Amino acid sequence: MMQTQFNIHEAKTHLSQIIEQVEAGGEAVIARAGKPVVRLVLIEDKPQPRKLGRLSGQFRIPGSDSPPIPETPEPFLDAIEGR
């Protein structure tokens, strides 16, 4: 079974064989009334878990003693650029 497109009934009937075909390096498309609906592909390696705290120490959060953010654009830009 090296076919790549299956109708829904075929896919339900031969799911194990379709999965084996995908595991062997292929892919399979499941169609409804001849129109492709989904593609089955092999999931590669599991994504690596995200590491929390990767950016620790790279940003500074202003404390409560910091001056307030100006309401108008010019003083705001001056404050950001250190003027």
Average pLDDT, 10 consecutive residues per value, the chain (83 residues): 86 94 91 94 81 83 75 76 79
* 3 state SS of 75: helix
What gap in Å lies between CA 11 and CA 3, rounded to an integer? Answer: 11
Can you read off the two tokens belonging to residue 76?
């705001």
Strand 5-7 versus strand 28-32 pairing type:
parallel
For residues 25 and 49, the answer to whether their CB atoms sit within 8 Å is: no
pLDDT of 55: 82
pLDDT of 1: 56
pLDDT of 40: 93
E strands, the chain, are 5-7, 28-32, 35-40
pLDDT of 83: 76
pLDDT of 48: 80
